Amino acid sequence: MDVLRVSANSKPKAVAGALSAVLREKGVAEIQAVGAGAVNQAVKAIAITRGFVAPNGIDLVCVPAFAEIDIDGEERTAIRFIVGPR
């Protein structure tokens, strides 16, 4: 499964475009975000993506979960969103 990493500086519309492309190609995608700002941008991107894929008859759902990831040798807690059709 493809992992899209979102930061607080990510543009939600650009992330939504990438997410839409992955969903059309693979059917399911994963988004990872570390920090409140990144999670905010990720949630906005998921909402925008729903509008992009809805005309194709795809009803998106997202399942949030915690993930432990390694950044520069330091373990951090990320929020992982699994996004796919209902």
CA angle, corner 1, sides to 63 and 52, nearest 5?
Answer: 65
C-alpha distances in Å from residue 28, one per residue of 4, 19, 74: 11, 9, 29
Q: What is the pLDDT along the chain (86 residues), one digit of tens a residue?
A: 678 999 999 999 999 999 999 998 999 999 999 999 999 999 999 999 999 998 888 899 999 999 999 988 999 999 999 999 98
Count of the separate structural domains present in the chain: 1
Residue 13 one-letter amino acid? K
CATH for 78: 3.30.110.20
Output the pTM of the full model: 0.91
What are residue 10's phi and psi, to 5 degrees? -70, 140
Q: Domain span at residue 63?
A: 3-85
C-alpha distances in Å from residue 69, one per residue of 16, 21, 38, 80, 82: 23, 25, 15, 10, 16
